[in-house]
Amino acid sequence: MSTDHLIFLSIPGLRTRDIDARRTPTLFGWANRGAMREFTPTFPCVTSSVQATMWTGIAPHRHGVIANGFYHRDRSEVEFWVARNGIIQGEQVWNALRAGRPETTSAVWHAQNIKDAAADFIVTPAPTHEPDGTTKLWCYSKPDDLYTRLIDAFGHFPLHHYWGPMANIESTRWILDAAAWLVEQAAPNFHWIYIPYLDYAGQKYGPNSPQAARAVEELDELLGVFEKRVRDTATGKDAQFLAVGEYALTDVVGVIYPNRVLRDAGLFSVRARDGEEYADLASSAAFAMVDHQFAHVFVNASTESDRRKVTSRVVELFSEVDGIARTLAGADRATIGIEHERSGDVVLVCDDAHWLAYYWWFDDQAAPSFARTVDIHRKPGYDPVELFIDLTTRTISLDATLVRGSHGAPATSPSQRTALICSTPSRSFEVSQTRDTDMKRIVMELLGAT
């Protein structure tokens, strides 16, 4: 059954086991009236990669989003959360909808790598960092005045509740309120909404913790309010809702520090400044760009012979590290679908009980100043410890063992699969399992654009 209005909710951490009539009546109601299936993300199972896969219908080795960050070899710089849509290779769903059904309009909320995409309406965080160290709240929007109109209606997007030690449901509330407002104002045919709320408790306390269970209930309550607001509009009465878990988190019991391993072996270099140690990537023979449960290790060598030697040494080092399940170099990276020109020379993959931290220092007194702050752009790796505050110093903790949940490793077990829920029956869900590579096709079918 096709629809004129489809609302796609991308909810990392949402699992079929979390859905029941008592705790999650909204999601259960959608599943009961429509369908619920298992959803399997393609490696790497992280936000930027899975979102790009859902939008394009192709895997990371083709669309090129090999992590939440990228390493620019030409200038020896890591760039995380780049935001630019042009980084994605391949036709995206917004373009395909316009080609298949020209009158279709689309809106995107808080997605990764979305700036300058072909969607008609876009809102995504774009804070500016002032010289005095303060952060000015702002969002990129399309059209340009959309965010200004949202400020008038709801105030600034609460960035401090979106990530960091104060992350909570208020950021999700703002996103859903704003999306409902746009349904009332402009009635886009397709809404794509990113909701990271379940990630917070999952990483801080573990995906099977009481706190994580409560987060699902709180989100379901908000979704019920959101659905009512949409249904109360003239155009939203017959809207279909599609909720998809981007990836599942697993309980973790240990953390691994790849850059410390490389430094111990004489392959990773640092430079000291005012008693702090900063990564010297240009001088490092190898370094690891970590992202949850995997890492791209980039080798820097002047000759191909030296590159092979360093690569072999890296493989040898990590083959002996407890918690590293796979160490893949060269063509072997294709076995997990990550052989792309942007990928590291070696790819490390944890087992599902471990995760990887970017730290390279051995003494916390030598940690660079940004390590104790919420600074998602200066850190050359994803840092979930930003969810924790050290109350004695009023700064971000440096105790990486606090993290209790992670994701990113290949989804090879039932615990690494999530939920796909559609509020109305559809032939698109006649199979028992669905992959992220199927989602572009499913969206096109539901909107009658094929």
Identical fold between 6-72+81-249+414-446 and 254-403: no
pLDDT band of residue 427 (cuts 50, 70, 90) is: confident
pLDDT band of residue 135 (cuts 50, 70, 90) is: confident
CATH class of 254-403: alpha beta
- CATH assignment, 6-72+81-249+414-446: 3.40.720.10
What is the domain partition of the chain in residue ranges? 6-72+81-249+414-446, 254-403
pLDDT: is 224 or 428 the higher one? 224
Q: Mean of the pLDDT values across residues 415-425?
A: 94
pTM: 0.96
Asked if residue 422 lies in contact with residue 430, where contact means CB atoms within 8 angstroms, the answer is no
Q: Percentage of residues in the chain with pLDDT exceeding 90?
A: 91
Supply the pLDDT for residue 392: 87
pLDDT value at 78 more than 90: yes
> What's the CA gap between 63 and 405, in Å, rounded?
27
pLDDT value at 1 more than 60: no
Supply the pLDDT for residue 82: 86
Supply the pLDDT for residue 132: 60
Q: Mean of the pLDDT values across residues 357-378?
A: 95
Write out pLDDT tens, residues 273-326. 999 999 999 999 999 999 999 999 999 999 999 999 999 999 999 998 999 999
Supply the pLDDT for residue 130: 63
Closest CA to 372 of 397, 399, 391: 397
Write out pLDDT tens, residues 186-217. 999 999 999 999 999 999 999 999 999 999 99
- Phi, psi (rounded to 5 degrees) for 100: -85, -25
pLDDT band of residue 128 (cuts 50, 70, 90) is: confident
Q: Is the peptide bond before 210 cis (omega within 30 degrees of 0)?
A: no
pLDDT band of residue 345 (cuts 50, 70, 90) is: very high
pLDDT band of residue 129 (cuts 50, 70, 90) is: low
Closest CA to 347 of 256, 250, 258: 258
Tokens 């290779």, residue located: 89
Question: Beta partners for 354?
Answer: 254
Inter-CA distances, 275 with 18, 42, 98, 282, Å: 48, 42, 55, 20
Average pLDDT, the chain: 95
Supply the pLDDT for residue 208: 97
Write out pLDDT tens, residues 210-253. 999 999 999 999 999 999 999 999 888 999 999 999 999 999 99
Supply the pLDDT for residue 182: 97
pLDDT value at 57 more than 70: yes
Query: How wide is the angle at C-alpha 229 spanned by C-alphas 224 and 233, nearest 5°?
Result: 140
Supply the pLDDT for residue 377: 84
